[in-house]
Structure 1
Amino acid sequence: MEEIIKRLYIGGYQGFEMGIFSQKDSRVNVIKRVLKRELKNYLENGLEWVITGGTLGCEIWAAQVALELKEDYPDLKLALIFPFEEFGSKWNESNQLLLSELKTKADFVDSVSHHPYQNPAQFRNHTDFLLNHTEGALLIYDQEFPGKTKYLLTSIEKFQEKNPYELQMISMDELENSYDFDDSV
């Protein structure tokens, strides 16, 4: 029997890995529509928290979708948990503004390391923290198209060897099949 997922970590490709460099790219709407559909399924089964690390791309889009869903699911909470302090401070102005807006609307904002970026161990600690504080992950990732998310996937698979942990992946095929399909989610 599948465990009820109350805290779901959402991760996936960064925008540049998908060739997406603008929030106005039509593919962003497709990704958000698929995320919304999947999150509604989780919400109907007890989801309470959407947790993301706030990277540009799938994590930002997931946070935006979670905020949209709060209109119909007011008990849903959004947590932005960054790997380190000052996360996103070197982004361009429009991306910093986007992150700042999400921070003001999220229910919980913090970082695992309370220091600015120092070394890659902060990313490993971040992943370990997220896995230990969620019951499952939803990744927009396709193993046929490797990207940085492969490191997260490897960490999840190792974590699953010793812990019950749900993993759902949304593949490129699923996104492409949703591209022309308007299911008014």
Structure 2
Amino acid sequence: MYKVIALSGYKPYEIGIFQKDHPSAAYIKKAIQKELLRMIDNGLEWVLISGKLGVELWGAEAVFAIQTDYPNLKLAVLTPFLGQEENWNDANKEWYESVLAQADFVDSITKKSYEKPWQFRLKNQFFIEKSDTLLLVYDHDKEGSPKYLYEMAQNYQTHQEYPIHLITFADLQDLIEEDASNHWNP
């Protein structure tokens, strides 16, 4: 049973996406929704994100879409530090603020502005220790920022039961092909 999951993955530029509404984002959200719905059947109550651009904010949008049918599903945004959006462009700040406004819980783990990379490591550790499982959009063939959370979760698994659920590029490709075959009209 997964009451609390940590959700993360790539930043948009790491996977060649430069607009929040890029068609690929729809498939990422669909894949996340599919996993979340499966987990809801196993008792999922909370989804934790840190609010970083990309997969996490798309995941938040997936949660919001599911909440219409499953209002007991909650979203927590726990940032690694205060003001993480300060250097983002206006469109990304607006996206971020809209997610924070709809989230069920918002806080910062370190309660201070960015100082050093230890704040990201502390956030990863916090997410792993406070969740029952990790849902990560990550592919071993494309390293990026999710690698650090993935490796920390794998290390955690050596002394604690902690399932890791990956959404890979192959999973996304399967969704695209499934969608194409459902809309094919000879």
TM-score after normalising by structure 1: 0.95
Residue matched to 1:151: 148
8 Å CA contact 2:20, 2:54 repeated in 1: no
Residue matched to 2:78: 81
What pairs up with 1:85-164 in 2 under 5 angstroms?
85-164=82-161
For residues 21 and 166 of structure 2, what CA distance do their matches in structure 1 show?
Answer: 24
RMSD over aligned Cα atoms: 1.2
TM-score after normalising by structure 2: 0.94
2:65 corresponds to which of 42, 47, 68: 68
What pairs up with 1:17-28 in 2 under 5 angstroms?
17-28=14-25
For residues 24 and 128 of structure 1, what CA distance do their matches in structure 2 show?
Answer: 30
Q: C-alpha offsets along residues 148-168 of structure 1, whole Å, 9 cap, x if unaligned?
A: 111111100111111111110
8 Å CA contact 1:35, 1:62 repeated in 2: yes
Structure 2, unaligned stretches of length 5 or more? none
For residues 111 and 166 of structure 2, what CA distance do their matches in structure 1 show?
Answer: 30
Q: C-alpha offsets along residues 129-170 of structure 1, whole Å, 9 cap, x if unaligned?
A: 111100100111010111111111110011111111111001
For residues 150 and 109 of structure 2, what CA distance do their matches in structure 1 show?
Answer: 19
Aligned length: 181
Structure 1, unaligned stretches of length 5 or more? none
Q: CA deviation at 1:24?
A: 2.1
For residues 181 and 90 of structure 1, what CA distance do their matches in structure 2 show?
Answer: 38
1:176 aligned to 2:156? no
Structure 1 ranges of 4+ moved more than 3 A: none
8 Å CA contact 1:27, 1:179 repeated in 2: no
1:54 is aligned with what amino acid? G
Q: CA deviation at 1:26?
A: 0.6
Percent identity between the two aligned chains? 33
